Amino acid sequence: MYSAMRALRRDRWGYAFILPSFVLFSLFYLVPVVWSGYLSLLEYGVFSRTWVGLANYVEAINDRIFRLAIRNTILYTLGLVPLWLAKALIVSALIFPLSKPIQTFFKGAFYLPHVTSSVITSMVWLWIYNPPFGLLNYFMEVLGLSPHAWLGDVRTALPAIIFMQVVMGGGSSIVMITAAMGSIPEHLYEAAYLDGATKTQAFFKVTIPLLRPTLLYLLVTGTISSFQVFTNVYMMTHGGPQFSTATLVYLIYDTAFKQFNFGLASAQAVVLFAMVFTLALVQFKFLGQEVEY
């Protein structure tokens, strides 16, 4: 009892610093999240709430389309997140040594398009992928290749959406990485060069290790956001062809708002949560060691 009080007293500044955030977070984030978890155990109607235990989970898992959506979402994440990160790292490394105005230009060029509404980006890319009259097939023909129905073929629809996201995305990662690079102390590089390291070696020996917390953040949030992909799929393919781009949140949207089945939708969301959470644990294990220098 006494030692608990002492610990409380010792850590009082920790509590004080966390308190404003914790109050807001609990009320507006944690409560809805826990509430959603609770809904997954109910048959949830406007005037009736029936406890059904794990029935919604059984129904979700037994649904072929749901399992397909899990597969698609994992493929999408595996395809997208590494490419996003690689693009962001390479671009950041290349533009970081440049002069300030040029650096600003590039950061703007990569970041600002990424914030235009996905409605507009979807429209542009629908035009690019249009089978008879689109830009991509125009180039295919110029190169002497036969045109292809990019979004109409089960084999290419998901890769086409990933490709579009790679080209359009990664802007915030570039901003984030360059910002973190800016706070790496110069003397660490000086020391490395004195030891005879080349630029590339310095990048891998100094930059990457010191970027680890940032990279972890980008990896985790990138995984979370790609697991929740919705608007582009909704706008561009409606989950088709033949469910090849049906992703989890696309399905959850359908279950909740088209079929009005919130219990089932919540169960689907909890399954999604469990998968991302597991992935994040792994990511933290490999990248999460405290970095101090």
> Between residues 53 and 132, which has the closer beta carbon with respect to other proteins?
132
Residue 191 touches other proteins, criterion: CB under 8 A:
no
Joined together, the tokens standing for residue 290 give: 């405290």
Q: Round to the nearest angstrom and report the end-to-end CA distance of the chain.
A: 37
Contact yes or no for 198/138 (Cβ under 8 A):
no
Q: Which of 6, 50, 195, 260 binds other proteins (CB under 8 A)?
A: 260
Which residues ranging from 110 to 169 are in contact with other proteins (CB under 8 A)?
110-117, 119-121, 124, 126-127, 129-133, 135, 141, 148-154, 157, 167-168
Cα 81 to Cα 62: distance, rounded to the nearest angstrom = 28
Cα 263 to Cα 254: distance, rounded to the nearest angstrom = 13
Q: CB-based burial of residue 225 (10 Å sphere; 0-12 exposed, 13-18 middle, 19+ buried)? A: middle
Residue 82 touches other proteins, criterion: CB under 8 A:
no
Residue 175 touches other proteins, criterion: CB under 8 A:
yes
Residue 227 touches other proteins, criterion: CB under 8 A:
yes
Which residues ranging from 13 to 72 are in contact with other proteins (CB under 8 A)?
13-18, 20-22, 24-25, 27-33, 35-37, 39, 45-47, 64-65
Joined together, the tokens standing for residue 217 give: 């953040």
Residue 286 touches other proteins, criterion: CB under 8 A:
no
Query: How many residues contact other proteins, by CB under 8 A?
Result: 134
Per-residue string for binding with other proteins, 193-222, x by CB under 8 A? ------x----------x--xx-xx--xx-
Q: CB-based burial of residue 97 (10 Å sphere; 0-12 exposed, 13-18 middle, 19+ buried)? A: exposed
